[in-house]
Amino acid sequence: MIALTATLPLTPPASFSVVSPPPGWHQLDLLWQSDDRQIQSGLPHHQLAPAWQMMLLGDGSPTRYLQLLTGNPTQIDLIDMSAIGQTSDQAPPQILQIPGPRVRRQVWLTNGGERTAYATSWWEQSHVDEYLENRSLPIWASLAKLRTELYRDVQGLYYGHSEEISAAFDHPGPFWGRHYLFWHHGQPLTMIYEVFSPKLEKYLGPISL
């Protein structure tokens, strides 16, 4: 089981205070990571199949894609929402483009009762209530309700292991993941780190050709 306790705020995020270090997040232990050229041009198909590249390198909504692929609504299990202050949280360097103090949110994405993805997002603390009013909704659903226009800017693609994610997905891995910035009105709104379950092969086909 995942030894991670949700720390949901009972008061608006503006009143958060960091008393002790918040629980960590599930970052992949890397076997490989992309460079900028590979993000722009894509990978050889023997390394990552076209359908998986569309999922990982495309600019569409993964929560929407997961719903269309599985035929089941994408729901979330919120496992952590922590104030992290001005710290970088051992996150990719683009976190510095999100103004502090920051809030980190972690969820499992599920479709039809099966975990299909893991996601961590980092937000400017003062924006959390505005854009995540309903904490139980996926980010895409929350922003769609607000008719928020966004640009998804993929910054990193990863392949690696995680014991916690392996236990949650009931799969030995390794796993593919990515991180990206959401831009809104020319400013970075949030940074998101996602890892996808290999069990999606039943919908997307083999991960590599």
Q: What is the pLDDT of residues 54-106, one digit of tens each?
A: 999 998 889 999 999 999 999 999 999 999 999 999 999 999 999 999 999 99
**Average pLDDT, stretch 22-49?**
93
Cβ pair 194, 52 in contact under 8 A = no
* H runs (alpha helix) in the chain: 36-41, 50-57, 62-70, 128-131, 139-145, 163-169, 201-204
Inside any domain, residue 150: yes
pLDDT at 145: 56
Inside any domain, residue 176: yes
Amino acid in position 207:
I
Residue 196 predicted with pLDDT over 50: yes
Inside any domain, residue 10: no
Residue 48 predicted with pLDDT over 80: yes
Residue 13 predicted with pLDDT over 60: no
Residue 6 predicted with pLDDT over 60: no
Inside any domain, residue 54: yes
How many H helices and E strands in the chain?
A: 7, 7
Amino acid in position 48:
L
Inside any domain, residue 98: yes
pTM (two decimals):
0.84
Q: What is the pLDDT of residues 131-187, one digit of tens each?
A: 666 555 656 555 555 455 568 899 999 999 999 999 999 999 999 999 999 888 888
pLDDT at 19: 38
DSSP states along 112-173: TTEEEEEEEEEEEGGGHHHH-SSTTS-HHHHHHHTT---EEEEEEEEEEE-HHHHHHHTS--
CATH number of the domain where residue 73 is located: 3.40.1410.10
- In the chain, % helix, strand, coil (3-state, to 5) comes to 30, 35, 40
Domain that includes residue 95, residue range: 26-204
Give how many domains the chain has, as a whole number: 1
Tally of CB atoms within 10 A around 102: 26
